[in-house]
Amino acid sequence: MGARPRILFLCTGNSCRSQMAEGFARQLRSDVIQAFSAGTRPKGIDPRAVEVMREVGIDISGGSSKAPEDLDVELDVVVTVCDSAHETCPTMPGAPRIVHVGFDDPPRLASGAATEDEAIAHYRRVRDEIESFVRTLPGSVIGDAW
């Protein structure tokens, strides 16, 4: 086992799911991985994502929405966390492995909500699913050989 693997969480806007994954990874798994996030079309951090992460004691408000090419790091694994990013995933130099773990899109689901409580419930559910996934890292994406 060498250095901690460098994992990029990639979604379309780098506004919600990938930011949540990076936040959980930095909080819960920084002893075993180095976490980054980016988007294929960055658009700024979703305020509801910030809100639901604060509820579990993780502050992602200081993060920034960025493209993969904005990162100056050689990656070991790219984890696409949305179907769109998976379909349009750019070639990532230095990232020998790309893994897809799709999560529902909270903003899309919340757009049909009748109330703010109903809207935020979608964010909470996806947040909890992302947390469960992040707790399995790095083995779930790299295997036990790392």
Domains delineated in the chain: 6-137 (3.40.50.2300)
pLDDT of amino acid 142: 75
User: DSSP 3-state assignment of 99?
Assistant: strand
Apex 126 CA angle, 70 and 40, nearest 5? 25
Instruction: Report the residue count for the chain.
Output: 146
> Which of 10-14, 21-25, 121-125 is least confident?
10-14
Cβ atoms of residues 28 and 7 within 8 Å = no
Q: Does residue 144 surpass a pLDDT of 60?
A: no
Catalytic residue among 82, 92, 98, 134: 82
Which range of 3-7, 23-27, 71-75 scores highest in mean pLDDT? It is 23-27
Count the alpha carbons within 13 Å of 55 in the hemisphere toward its beta carbon.
15
Express each pLDDT in 101-131 by its tens digit.
989 999 999 999 999 999 999 999 999 999 9
Q: Does residue 140 surpass a pLDDT of 90?
A: no
Catalytic residue among 56, 89, 110, 119: 89
pLDDT of amino acid 8: 92
User: DSSP 3-state assignment of 3?
Assistant: coil
pLDDT of amino acid 93: 57
The pTM score is 0.90
- CB-count burial class (<10 Å; 0-12, 13-18, 19+) for 94: exposed
Catalytic residue among 10, 11, 35, 130: 11
Instruction: Give yes or no: 16 in active site.
Output: no
Express each pLDDT in 57-90 by its tens digit.
999 999 899 998 898 888 888 898 986 665 666 5
